Amino acid sequence: MAQNIQHYDFIVIGGGSGGSGAARRASSWYGAKTLLVESGRSGGTCVNVGCVPKKMTWNFASVAEALKDSVYYGYDTSPNIPFNFTKFKQMRDASIKGLNGAYERNWSREQIDLVHGTATLISPREVEVEVKGGQKSYYSAPHILIATGGYPVMPKDTPGWEHGISSDGFFDIEELPKRMAFVGAGYIAVELAGVMNAIGVEVHMFIRHSTFLRNFDPMIQETLTRRYEEAGVIIHKNHKGLKEVVKKKDGKGSEKLLNLIGVDREELEVNELLWAIGRTPEIEKLNVEKLGIKQNSKGHIVVDQYQNTSVHGIYALGDVTGQAELTPVAIAAGRNLSNRLFGTNHPAGGPHLATAKLDYHNIPTVVFAHPEVGVVGLTEPQAVKQYGKENVKTYHTKFTAMFYEFHPPEEKKKQPTEYKIVCQGPDEKVVGLHILGLGSSEMMQGFGVAVKIGATKRDFDSTVAIHPTSAEELVTMK
């Protein structure tokens, strides 16, 4: 055992959403002596380079779209209203810095000890933390949680890959490029490409198939891909990949020049390139292999339904496990874990918490695309595979939201609203819900509750509609 070791009830490695949720529940609810170790900025990916700054930027782009729409309501709005993206970035950065401080104040108020440094597991009960300057401290606990999240994958086998940026680097952009390329077809590429297109950047997307968001229902894939093309995004479909990236000129914004050379030898000159080809768990310095902590083929830490790893007393949750990589999922998993570990025998908890765990089924999620997408449950192909085609019935509608009533026909076509309900069995239990269109993000939270508690199509039909709304279509669909 290391010398001068400090002892705790609970050590949490990672101060992001999941780690914070677990630490706060353990300390403030159950009085567990808790240490939180964070190697970067407090709040993790979501707060610093994920959900929060992404939504702020989406809001910024949505204002640009609203200004364009205003002319159809009689406003004498100039088509080229100037904006200051650098100022917006400064405001966004200041807001994030405030959140970093709020996280740390919450931890301090709830008597969680915070150490800024890099953690390494030296035994199933001991952690070494190296702080800035190389100084090392040692800590022990009967319960250790790994909640270190993940980071963007970069294609290091592609010459010149380093001239591009990741989604992390997106939030460092101070001056907008005139032309920007995105490699990837997942939600990160779709969201960030949509933002840049909405504020006037010429956007190119390189995807390996004919649609993006390949894990989503075909309706979402096809409609959103078509919508992006109609909105001006240039999508290079069935692309074979980039062979090389050549930097022709350094600089910011439109000053930077990159030449993208495809495997098919096609070339494109852009001012910025963003790789959105996946994420990988942040575990390199944790020493998981030496301790025998099991990982899957993608490097994620394998856990059971209670977030237990293969080593007793060590737990993992959030992006590091690859389970539904969403901020609210990590928070809920962390709180459930602390309820089970520290609440079972505590007056504030009870024996019922001995089996506390997160149910990973029917988790609603949203893509902040243009327009928004909301989903919960199974896609139609997944439902058919699971229940058989004869036991699955779908309901579908497509229309133009009332907001676009005064838009000319050619503009209305570019603003789809489309919904699908996937039902199973004679009772038509709703096992999947897929919505695309204005307001879908807020709408999905409420309908997510309905699907979670097992609502049927009859339950939807018996709900009185709110008129006039887009959401009413979901309870009046035939």
Catalytic residues: 467
3-state secondary structure string across 296-355? CCCCCECCCCCCECCCCCEEECHHHHCCCCCHHHHHHHHHHHHHHHHHCCCCCCCHHHHH
How far apart are the C-alpha atoms of 224 and 228, rounded to whole Å?
6
**What is the SS3 assignment for 199?**
coil
DSSP label at residue 404: G
Q: In this structure, are residues 198 and 369 in contact, taking their beta carbons and an 8 Å threshold?
A: no
Q: In this structure, are residues 287 and 272 in contact, taking their beta carbons and an 8 Å threshold?
A: no
How far apart are the C-alpha atoms of 48 and 413, rounded to whole Å?
36
Backbone angles phi, psi at 11, to 5 degrees: -115, 125
The tokens of 465 are what? 């509609």
Q: Which of 465, 376, 386, 374 is nearest to 425 (CA)?
A: 386
**What is the SS3 assignment for 259?**
strand
